[in-house]
């Protein structure tokens, strides 16, 4: 069952009814100012940091969970009836509802009683504000008098404090009102130099800034007293809960429509010039007024909306494909690329599943996210990599997280997630392959944010590898530390106190438990460094890490092999985890994927055997589960993974992030059919057909889909902010379609499903456009390339000479 449809030409998903199984949401903003918006206009906004600069308020764990929103009320001033065009929060039935989630904007519209209201919400590129561009149309045969209310509830900046510290916060709220603009300036008098504003393009009939005055005592956002009575009260908030609400009265002839723009924005002033007049407590508005004036003009709003569309034309135009599968095209050309950009911007900080108060940017998460967007935003990728590297510790380890506003490592979580540093290698090498910008390797970067400790970025990569090599356990495999990619496999934790963090509690000395996932990841990172080192003429490094990799591969194929698949880990007692010998958790996905990605088992049949075991034990119709059998009881020696009920999260759900590793591994063995079959099982656009089962958005990946042990098998949870986005993009574009950036050119080595006759693609690479046509002469994966009509050896299209901007490549498969 579907709740909407894809409109590919507009690059939108069109939701056709407001009561989707879960709030289906979108993001606004790509740079400093961000917002989340659901299909019923729920959501909130913040500037750069969801925790420290929260602009509008969110009600955590509310029902529904998208509460707090950008709410518009329409009141028929003749009858007194009112409703929300976005259905929530009033929930009066509306006709012809639609929500169009597009690239950086959302349009929600509906009609009731002959009044149609459509609102386009977006953030203009480069601005710290969001626009609610409302069109109200009178579809009646008679004139209509309508009041339009736009309302937002301000958060008092620090989101954590805002939801806990009421004894203080009920007293601090302050606002100013000037013309059609409400200024939220809580704490501005003291240590804050920023404020928010909520403006309106029209002369308003009234406003409210005190929540209780607008809603009325004992009432909620579903039934505001001011809307019911048709008269805002012009309240001024002193303490309690500042809001911004504007009332606009419209008289509309039959067939007439009017546009009203509401603006929600964020602004900063230099500390020494905050007040006007100086010495007063009044906000200096000289800088912000021109911005507000610009964006309350509908011409400028239209122009900004076109600029946003052009920016997405440009970004998505960098890589477009035409394959025989519509869902694949949709994901690569539009939604997966878009989700990659969002995950890059927000890491795991703010969604309806990530509260925005907990986590900063994750070290491993951000490095992996880069794999999905580096071709779209190379300059930002460069900066991100340098920021991440600056939080690396001198011993090569890494802070697990950092706060984007301060760019400093998060002490509360610390380090010792032993996979972390290796992801930096993958990210930097991906960046250099994509851009050819080897200068990044020479950039001086500090360790642990400490001035004076600068070393070239290349040194950071070497220390990352050395971090692993200097922490090998009894079998010669890497020590796991607090966890590897699987945050919940906590082999040194041994926590028996409720409430302790599994990630930061460590009760064993950590010298025994080993991770096969890190072993495979190390081999992949070492292979990358060897390639890079050869490319830059550092044969010393190439030699050293080729040897280290060979040794690690031997260990993987030795103590890491269980007979039918790769072992997952060795625990603190030296016992195997993920082995036929175990009662539960006999086989895990990560070590099958990563051993093969690292290059193990390719020539001795182990890789094929391991993948056959995945197919036999882990694959379900809804995707590949993380482990089997699921754990049914708590294992002190394994940690958080065994706390989840069977089939959920790290305990045997389809943890979608890890599925593409198997897809890539299958392509390494030439199994295009299996790789693509796995791709489709978790592909949101394919699963659209079963939206009543999948329940999450059909246009973006979710972190997990409940596994076969769960009563809700097939149900997705935690959409949007997941490494699943980048990795599926890598799997489909680089492994299955086989288009891979390399140091010396663009490699094309597809491993397609046998039923495909081929595909075409256009890809920008180092400023040159490649038009690629792949066709089959036979069922296999051998390629012959012809470049601009000339046959070439091998699978790499060499970099063209200067001045070339178009290269045509024909790829025959046989
Ligand atoms: C979450 C974390 C990620 C981790 C994964 C598996 O997605 O953000 O860092 O690798 O869970 O535990
Ligand atoms: C929990 C989650 C895991 C996530 C971690 C982040 O352990 O199960 O997915 O990575 O929290 O702290």
> What is the number of other CB atoms lying within 10 angstroms of the CB of residue 603?
9
For the CA of 650, the nearest atom of ligand 1: 12
**Segments in 123-216 forming alpha helices (H):** 159-162, 166-172, 211-215
Catalytic residue among 66, 133, 420, 487: 487
DSSP strand E in 158-286: where? 175-178, 181-184, 194-200, 206-210, 242-252, 257-268
Cβ of 722 below 6 Å from ligand 2: no
pLDDT tens by residue, 64-81: 999 999 999 999 999 999
- d(CA 654, CA 713) in angstroms, rounded, equals 9
According to DSSP, the β-strands at 768-776 and 806-813 are parallel
Are the C-beta atoms of residues 523 and 599 closer than 8 Å to each other? yes
Are the C-beta atoms of residues 73 and 224 closer than 8 Å to each other? yes
| Residue 631 per-residue DSSP state | P
Cβ of 354 below 6 Å from ligand 2: no
Question: Which residue's C-alpha comes closest to atom 10 of ligand 1?
Answer: 485
- d(CA 113, CA 739) in angstroms, rounded, equals 54
Ligand closest to 364 (CA) is 1
* CA pseudo-torsion sign 669, 670, 673, 678: positive
- The tokens of 795 are what? 């699978």
Ligand closest to 343 (CA) is 1
Cβ of 640 below 6 Å from ligand 2: yes
Query: pTM for this structure?
Result: 0.97
Task: Residue 154: name the closest of 177, 121, 178, 184 by CA.
Answer: 184
- d(CA 424, CA 362) in angstroms, rounded, equals 12
- d(CA 615, CA 341) in angstroms, rounded, equals 32
Cβ of 483 below 6 Å from ligand 2: no
For the CA of 644, the nearest atom of ligand 2: 8
583 tagged catalytic: no
Cβ of 202 below 6 Å from ligand 2: no
CA dist list (Å): 617 to 18, 564, 588, 711? 39, 11, 9, 19
CA atoms within 13 A on the CB side of 512: 15
- d(CA 727, CA 184) in angstroms, rounded, equals 41
- pLDDT-flagged residues of the chain (< 50): none
Cβ of 488 below 6 Å from ligand 2: yes
- d(CA 207, CA 677) in angstroms, rounded, equals 56
Task: Residue 419: name the closest of 569, 614, 547 by CA.
Answer: 569
Are the C-beta atoms of residues 148 and 250 closer than 8 Å to each other? yes
In this prediction, residue 359 carries a pLDDT of: 66
Output b/e per residue, 32-69; b: 16+ Cβ within 10 A: bbbbbbbbbbbbbbbbbbbbbbbbbbbbeeeeeebbbb
Question: Which residue's C-alpha comes closest to atom 10 of ligand 2?
Answer: 487
- d(CA 471, CA 421) in angstroms, rounded, equals 13
Cβ of 721 below 6 Å from ligand 2: no
Q: Please report where in the chains the tokens 């606002």 appear, as a residue.
A: 175
Please state the length of the chain: 814
| Residues whose beta carbon lies within 6 Å of some atom of ligand 1 | 348, 362, 364-365, 485-488, 650, 703, 722
For the CA of 703, the nearest atom of ligand 2: 9
For the CA of 658, the nearest atom of ligand 1: 6
Question: Which residue's C-alpha comes closest to atom 4 of ligand 2?
Answer: 487
**Under the phi-then-psi rule, with left for phi > 0, alpha for psi from -120 to 50, and beta for the rest, what region is 149?**
beta
Cβ of 462 below 6 Å from ligand 2: no
- d(CA 206, CA 204) in angstroms, rounded, equals 5
- The tokens of 531 are what? 């390639």
| Residue 494 per-residue DSSP state | -
Ligand 1 center to 595 CA (angstroms): 19
In this prediction, residue 264 carries a pLDDT of: 98
Distance of CA 295 to the CA centre of its chain: 28
DSSP for 233-248, please give it: --B--BSS-EEEEEEE
Q: Residue 403 forms beta bridges with which residues?
A: 408
Ligand 2 center to 488 CA (angstroms): 7
Cβ of 528 below 6 Å from ligand 2: no
Ligand 2 center to 710 CA (angstroms): 19
pLDDT tens by residue, 464-492: 999 999 999 999 999 999 999 999 999 99
| Residue 191 per-residue DSSP state | T
> Three-state secondary structure along 509-568?
CCCCCEEHHHHHHHHHHHHHHHHHHHHCCCHHHHHHHHHHHHHHHHHHHCCCECCCCECC
Task: Residue 206: name the closest of 174, 235, 173, 242 by CA.
Answer: 235
Are the C-beta atoms of residues 94 and 111 closer than 8 Å to each other? yes
Ligand 1 center to 362 CA (angstroms): 9
Task: Residue 86: name the closest of 75, 103, 70, 102 by CA.
Answer: 70
Q: Is the peptide bond before 392 cis (omega within 30 degrees of 0)?
A: no
For the CA of 503, the nearest atom of ligand 2: 12
């Amino acid at each position: 069952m579907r709740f909407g449809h894809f409109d590919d030409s507009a690059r939108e998903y069109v939701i056709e009814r407001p009561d989707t199984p879960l709030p289906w949401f979108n993001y606004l903003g790509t740079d400093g100012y961000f917002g989340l918006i659901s299909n019923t206009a729920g959501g909130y906004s913040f500037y750069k940091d969801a925790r420290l600069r929260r602009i509008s308020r969110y009600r955590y764990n509310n029902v529904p969970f998208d509460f707090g929103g950008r709410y518009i009320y329409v009141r028929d001033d003749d009858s007194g009836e009112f409703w929300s065009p976005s259905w929530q929060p009033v929930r009066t039935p509306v006709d012809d509802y639609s929500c169009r989630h597009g690239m950086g904007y959302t349009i929600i519209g509906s009609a009731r009683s002959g009044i149609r209201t459509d609102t386009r919400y977006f953030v203009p590129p480069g601005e710290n504000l969001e626009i609610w561009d409302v069109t109200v149309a009178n579809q009646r045969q008679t004139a209509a008098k309508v009041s339009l209310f736009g309302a937002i509830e301000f958060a008092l900046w620090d989101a954590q404090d805002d939801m806990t510290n009421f004894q203080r916060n009920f007293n601090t709220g302050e606002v100013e009102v000037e013309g059609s603009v409400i200024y939220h300036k809580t704490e501005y008098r003291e240590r804050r130099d920023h404020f928010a504003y909520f403006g309106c393009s029209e002369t308003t009939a009234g406003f409210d800034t005190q929540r209780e005055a607008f809603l009325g005592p004992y009432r909620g956002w579903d039934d505001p007293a001011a809307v019911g009575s048709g008269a805002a009260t012009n309240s001024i908030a002193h303490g309690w809960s500042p809001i911004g609400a504007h009332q606009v009265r419209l008289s509309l002839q039959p067939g007439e429509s009017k546009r009203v723009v509401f603006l929600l924005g964020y602004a900063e002033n230099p500390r020494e010039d905050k007040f006007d007049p100086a010495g007063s407590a009044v906000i200096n508005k000289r800088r912000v007024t021109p911005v507000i004036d610009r964006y309350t003009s509908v011409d400028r709003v239209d122009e900004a909306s076109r600029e946003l569309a052009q920016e997405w034309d440009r970004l998505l135009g960098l890589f477009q494909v035409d394959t025989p599968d519509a869902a694949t095209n949709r994901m690569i050309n539009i939604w997966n690329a878009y989700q990659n950009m969002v995950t890059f911007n927000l890491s795991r900080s703010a969604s309806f599943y990530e509260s925005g108060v907990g986590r900063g940017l994750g070290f491993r998460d951000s490095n992996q996210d880069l794999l999905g967007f580096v071709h779209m935003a190379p300059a930002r990728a460069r900066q991100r990599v340098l920021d991440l590297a600056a939080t690396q510790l001198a011993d090569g380890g890494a802070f697990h997280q950092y706060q984007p506003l301060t760019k400093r490592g998060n002490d509360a979580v610390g380090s010792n997630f032993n996979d972390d540093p290796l992801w930096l290698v993958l990210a930097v090498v991906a960046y250099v392959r994509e851009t050819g910008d080897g200068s990044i390797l020479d950039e001086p970067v500090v360790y642990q944010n400490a001035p004076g400790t600068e070393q070239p970025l290349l040194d950071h990569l070497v220390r990352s590898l050395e971090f692993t090599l200097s922490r090998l356990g009894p079998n010669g495999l890497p020590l796991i530390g607090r966890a590897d990619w699987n945050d919940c496999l906590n082999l040194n934790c041994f926590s028996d106190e409720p409430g302790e963090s599994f990630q930061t509690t460590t009760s064993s000395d950590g010298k025994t438990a080993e991770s096969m996932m890190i072993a495979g990841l190390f081999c992949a990172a070492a292979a990358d460094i060897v390639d890079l080192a050869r490319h830059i003429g550092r044969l010393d490094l190439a030699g050293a890490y080729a040897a280290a990799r060979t040794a690690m591969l031997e260990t993987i194929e030795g103590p890491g092999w269980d007979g039918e698949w790769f072992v997952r880990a060795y625990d603190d007692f030296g016992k195997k985890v993920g082995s036929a010998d175990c009662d539960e958790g006999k086989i895990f996905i990560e070590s099958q994927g990563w051993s093969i990605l690292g290059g193990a088992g390719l020539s001795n049949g182990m890789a094929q055997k391991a993948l056959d075991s995945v197919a036999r034990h882990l694959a379900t119709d809804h995707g590949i589960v993380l482990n089997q059998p699921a754990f049914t009881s708590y294992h002190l020696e394994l940690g958080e993974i065994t706390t989840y009920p069977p089939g959920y999260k790290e305990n045997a759900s389809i943890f979608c992030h890890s599925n593409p590793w198997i897809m890539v591994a299958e392509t390494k063995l030439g199994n295009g059919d299996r790789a693509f079959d796995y791709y489709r099982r978790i592909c949101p656009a394919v699963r659209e057909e079963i939206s009543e089962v999948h329940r999450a958005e059909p246009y973006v990946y979710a972190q997990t889909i409940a596994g076969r042990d769960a009563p809700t098998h097939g149900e997705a949870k935690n959409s949007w902010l997941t490494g699943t986005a980048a990795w599926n993009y890598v799997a489909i574009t680089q492994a299955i379609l086989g288009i891979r950036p390399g140091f010396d050119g663009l490699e094309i080595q597809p491993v397609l499903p046998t039923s495909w006759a081929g595909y075409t693609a256009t890809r920008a690479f180092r400023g040159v456009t490649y038009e690629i046509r792949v066709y089959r002469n036979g069922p296999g994966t051998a390629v012959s390339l012809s470049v601009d009509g000339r046959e070439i050896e091998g699978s790499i299209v060499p970099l063209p000479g200067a001045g070339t901007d178009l290269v045509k490549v024909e790829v025959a498969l046989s």
